[in-house]
Chains A and B, each alone.
Chain A
Amino acid sequence: MPAPETVLSVRNLAVRFGRSKLRAVDGVSLDLGTERLGIVGESGSGKSTLGRAIMRLLPNAAHVEAATLDFDGKPLLTRPEREMRTLRGNRMALIMQDPRYSLNPVLSVGKQVAEAALLHGKIGKKEAYAKAADMLARVRIADVERVMSLYPHQISGGMGQRVMIAMMLLAKPRLVVADEPTSALDVSVRGDVLNLLDELVRENNSGLMLISHDIRMVAAFCQRILVMYKGRVVETLTRLDEAQHPYTRGLIAAMPDPRNPVQRLQTLDRRAIDALEARS
């Protein structure tokens, strides 16, 4: 591995919604190099809000504050919305749970990928189409010609996720935020999608932020894991067996494991965790 250069640098990021005093994200600091970073937490832990805050995709009611929020060495928070829009199309990308909502429903898959090719390479229409077909083949879509003529609602979730990744292979983003990219997919295609994501970030030398509730999946795929609880990062791990924090340990123990069967699953002692969090 080459020395990881910093793609994203965040210090003390906080997000509040509306007039609420409660912070959905509270004092999060992280550095992302050209690596795979996992963000794990339960619903309401603020993990998705964090991802969207970094991409500045939160609604206007959200107040985002940070001591530093630098992307590629330049601050993000002060940029005008128009600049952000070009940035989001080119340099940073978001992969969502159900790709069929992020694709344009009235354009065929082929057209959309070709459009991405047109946007990022100075080429003609025909070339763009050929390039799109190339990319779709690269994400291991079998029947490329047929798939290109389909509309987003006609393809499966796994296929949609591949199409999204194909478009990103063209755009070559520096930062990829993947928010639960596999939880709407069938088990057998999850591995494929993750592998494709991995290829994508390796090839472009970009940083990947994988947001998920599935701590085991993240642990298997990412080099570093941030565990979030109630808007704060409680622990940073490289391996699951390093877990110290009772919340992380609770999460791991709560998952059933067929290789290690138990009569009763362990449940989280939320009161103890909250007490511990209040002290720190």
Chain B
Amino acid sequence: MIEVSNLSVSFGSGEARRQVVKGVSFVVGKGETLGIVGESGCGKSTVLRSLAGLDRHWEGEIRLAGNAVDRERSREQLKLAQMVFQDPYGSIHPRHRIERVLAEPARAMKIGDGWSRVAPSLEQVGLPANFAERFPHELSGGQRQRVAIARALMLEPEILLLDEPTSALDVSVQAEVLNLLSDLREERNLTYVLVSHDLSVIAHMCDRVLVMKDGAFVDELDKGALEQGQTHHPYSKQLFKASFL
């Protein structure tokens, strides 16, 4: 579903040029969930933003669903992958009602009027249909994140890119959102890339985890290795130790 080869991202120019992602390659199969774990500034979010098409400084090759995508995405290419952001308070326009938030993707893409699909999509993420009338500030953080997930699914992408989707939420709300994401994955056979600093969230959601440090992957762990805490690199070992005191 996703093939990335030799992806590099640099910011700035001349003396100040800094390579944030250093030639990483990975493959994610259809229906698989890949986790990327690392500390702040390791480049994990940059990888995700390059996959989504938000960062245009990348070099290398990205193939989504078999098609190589450009730095400047066409509408067809944008439909392949959508993103859920970390902060549910900042990712929804504060002056748009929920119905507009959910109708916008279809309207912006000029496919249908969008309004008619608001109610079913709210229901799909477990929110009552009358939420369409509300403004974001009338919703709790967890409810907003549900709306953000519903919005990302409006264009029916096959890939969902999740940037720390629960780190701003309370534990119990986090559990609800993670369950919702698992259900949706099953229902729609979605492919996820989940970026997080929280190893326990990653371990719960993912089939495979890449450990990132200073712009490169240093370790790869599968489900079994995660359960038993087997690591192949001192950094991931340290990360494991710190995560489970």
> Do these two chains interact?
yes
Instruction: Closest B residue to A217 by CB, please name it.
Output: B245
Instruction: Closest B residue to A192 by CB, please name it.
Output: B242
Chain A residues positioned under 8 Å from B244 (CB to CB)? 216, 258-259
Q: A220-B245, A255-B171 are in contact. Are A265 and B178 (CB under 8 A)?
A: yes
Instruction: Closest B residue to A270 by CB, please name it.
Output: B172
B179-219 vs A, Cβ < 8 Å mask (1 yes, 0 no) = 10010000000000000011111011100000000000000
Q: A42-B170, A187-B239, A191-B245 are in contact. Are A261 and B176 (CB under 8 A)?
A: no
A200-224, CB < 8 A from B: 213-217, 220-221
**With the chains together, A251 CA to B170 CA distance in Å?**
10
Question: Is the Cβ of A254 less than 8 Å from the Cβ of B175?
Answer: yes
Cβ-based interface call for B130 (8 A) = no
| Beyond A251-B171, A259-B244, 17 additional pairs, beta carbon < 8 A | A42-B171, A42-B172, A186-B197, A190-B242, A191-B241, A213-B171, A214-B171, A221-B245, A256-B178, A256-B201, A256-B204, A257-B204, A258-B199, A258-B226, A265-B175, A268-B172, A268-B175
Question: Is the Cβ of A186 less than 8 Å from the Cβ of B40?
Answer: yes
**With the chains together, A213 CA to B238 CA distance in Å?**
23
**With the chains together, A264 CA to B201 CA distance in Å?**
12
**What's the nearest-Cβ distance from chain A to residue B231, in Å?**
12
Chain A residues positioned under 8 Å from B172 (CB to CB)? 42, 250-251, 254, 267-268
> Residues on A close to B: CB < 8 A?
42-43, 186-188, 190-191, 194, 213-217, 220-221, 250-251, 254-259, 261-268
**With the chains together, A250 CA to B241 CA distance in Å?**
25
**With the chains together, A217 CA to B39 CA distance in Å?**
18
Chain B residues positioned under 8 Å from A251 (CB to CB)? 171-172
A-B interface pairs (CB < 8 A), number? 81
Question: Is the Cβ of B245 less than 8 Å from the Cβ of A216?
Answer: yes
Chain B residues positioned under 8 Å from A186 (CB to CB)? 39-40, 197
Question: Is the Cβ of B200 less than 8 Å from the Cβ of A258?
Answer: yes
**With the chains together, A220 CA to B241 CA distance in Å?**
13
Question: Is the Cβ of B197 less than 8 Å from the Cβ of A256?
Answer: no
Chain A residues positioned under 8 Å from B226 (CB to CB)? 258
Cβ-based interface call for B243 (8 A) = yes
Q: A187-B239, A258-B226 are in contact. Are A213 and B170 (CB under 8 A)?
A: yes
Question: Is the Cβ of B204 less than 8 Å from the Cβ of A188?
Answer: no
**With the chains together, A190 CA to B238 CA distance in Å?**
12
Cβ-based interface call for B60 (8 A) = no
Cβ-based interface call for B174 (8 A) = yes
**What's the nearest-Cβ distance from chain B to residue A141, in Å?**
18
Question: Is the Cβ of A256 less than 8 Å from the Cβ of B200?
Answer: yes
